[in-house]
Amino acid sequence: MTISTKGAKATSGMPLTRRQAARGLGLLGAASTFNIIGRAKAATGKVVFYSTIPTNYASKMEDAFNKAHPNGPKLEMFFVNGFALFERAQAEYTSGRVAHDLIMLTDPSLFIPLKAANRLMNYASPELVNYPADQRDADGVWCNGRTVLTIYGFNTRLATQPDKYKGWTDFLDPKFSDGRIGIANALESGSTMQHFYNIWKHKDLGRKWWEELAKLKPAIVSGPSPLTKMNISGEAVLALNVDYNLYEESKRNAPIKAVYPKELVTASIIPMAIARSAPNPEGAKVVFDWWLSKEGQTVLRDVNSIYSPRADVPPLPGSPKFADLPIVVASTAELDANRDEMQRRFKEIFKL
């Protein structure tokens, strides 16, 4: 197996376990959450949004919001990779010095201990009705703010049988063993962990699929960005990836093509919430409402080349209809209950 150091490291190297998350958040003795219902009041001031959205997309969302709200509040977005963002927020909550108003995490199950520890505001935004029940918290604490599909791409110059690649079984191509298949590390990437779990549970793929992949000794990197570069260069002829990278590179005529596997397509929900101790709670509610609105989701679709769960936001031109894909969304509660076990299994299979 080849492990690359390309791309930013998301953590200090130690995966965040469910037990560590609960311990750090101080679940015992947490006060009950409070409820705030209704559209946000007029607000001004600065709103700090911690997110895992890459900076090139986040800056465009920041600009779009600020242009739409010239009288305030002013949105400032900060990017931190993967589980490291949770650890940073956790440190702020523990110290009592909360510097952010909103938070978005790639692992939705992390919102369960955050909610239990009373770290999040229970704000029932009027936009929540536009989202499926499995993509928002029943109490209005969090909602899916960004949807990312896990698919794969192949290099069109080096894959001599392009019509072959239809599903996940085709991804296990022995011609490209010893590092010429690339995947992301599920210990660092929340979307990859969700995908690992979904394939593990699939009746026809399951654990065996991951074990067969491990035998091919894939390159394992920190996330989708380095995989995209490897796929384009041909270093990885086949590469696990997220939909927006493949869509954007195909528009640039890069020599890669997207495959939406016939067995399943993992839709990773990336929730957002308002911190209970937010320095600017009213401003945070304005951002929260706008982000989840038709306007905000349309901007996000165009900026990030992704799907929106809102029925009134159609997919980008050339993209398959969301309803036509074999979409699987991992249960947030199941991810929370099984995170430690999934991390252990990933390390065991790939000998990490």
* Cα–Cα distance measured from residue 249 to residue 254, given in angstroms and rounded to the nearest whole number: 5
- pLDDT interval class at 136 (50, 70, 90): very high
* pLDDT in the model for residue 293: 98
3 state SS of 127: helix
Stretch 296-303: mean pLDDT, rounded? 97
Q: How far is CA 97 from CA 20, 74, 83, in A?
A: 20, 21, 20
Look at the chain and count its residues.
Answer: 352
Residue % of the chain over a pLDDT of 70:
88
In degrees to the nearest 10, what's the CA dihedral of 304, 49, 59, 133?
20
φ, ψ for residue 195 (rounded to 5)?
A: -70, -40
Q: Which residues contact 105 (CB under 8 A, 6 or more apart)?
A: 52, 85, 86, 111, 190, 270, 271
11: tokens are: 């953590």
* Cα–Cα distance measured from residue 37 to residue 26, given in angstroms and rounded to the nearest whole number: 26
- Residue-wise pLDDT for 31-77, tens only, equals 333 333 344 455 789 999 999 898 999 999 999 999 999 999 999 99
In the chain the domains, ranked by start, together with CATH numbers, are 18-147+269-315 (3.40.190.10), 148-266+341-350 (3.40.190.10)
Question: What is residue 136's DSSP assignment?
Answer: B
Res 235 pLDDT > 60: yes
- pLDDT interval class at 160 (50, 70, 90): confident
Where does the chain have alpha helices with state H?
18-25, 55-68, 82-95, 111-116, 168-171, 190-201, 206-215, 224-233, 243-251, 281-292, 294-304, 332-350
Residue % of the chain over a pLDDT of 90:
71
Q: Which one, of 72, 75, 77, 76, lies nearest residue 43 by Cα?
A: 72
Tell me, what amino acid is at 332? Answer: T
* pLDDT in the model for residue 82: 65
Tokens 């031109």 found at: 317
Tokens 């990859």 found at: 192
Q: Residue 50 CB: number of other CB atoms within 10 A?
A: 22
- Residue-wise pLDDT for 215-225, tens only, equals 999 999 988 88
Q: Which one, of 249, 293, 253, 315, lies nearest residue 126 by Cα?
A: 293
